[in-house]
Amino acid sequence: MDKSLPERMVERADKDNLPADHPLRIRAKELEGAIEVYPRHHIPKSSMALHFFIGAWARARKVWCEYTGEELI
């Protein structure tokens, strides 16, 4: 698995011609944003950044698994 979850999500959405408002695209974009922002924050200085990152990842992973049928855990 060389690609990140957001990359795989966008690739799949493109392959399946999903619209811009599809949850797969929305959650991929949200997770990409969290990945960009998180490294700039330092723990414990900003535990909110960690919560945002984990939440974005969980939401993206859930949508990915629901769409692809891949096991969540």
Classify residue 67 as left (phi > 0), alpha (psi -120 to 50) or beta: alpha
**CA 70/CA 26 separation, integer angstroms:** 19
Q: How many domains does the chain have?
A: 1
Residue 71 lies inside a defined structural domain of this protein: no
pLDDT bracket for residue 6 (50, 70, 90):
very high
User: Domain limits at 48?
Assistant: 5-14+21-66
Residue 47 lies inside a defined structural domain of this protein: yes
Q: What predicted TM-score, i.e. pTM, was given to this entire model?
A: 0.83
Question: pLDDT digit string (tens) for 8-23?
Answer: 999 999 999 999 999 9
- Packing angle between helix 5-15 and helix 23-37, nearest 10 degrees? 150
Residue 72 lies inside a defined structural domain of this protein: no
Residue 31 lies inside a defined structural domain of this protein: yes
Residue 44 has pLDDT above 60, yes or no: no
Predicted local distance difference test score (pLDDT) of residue 42:
55
Predicted local distance difference test score (pLDDT) of residue 8:
97
Residue 40 lies inside a defined structural domain of this protein: yes
Chain-centre distance of CA 35, in angstroms?
A: 9
Residue 73 lies inside a defined structural domain of this protein: no
Predicted local distance difference test score (pLDDT) of residue 46:
62
Residue 45 has pLDDT above 60, yes or no: no
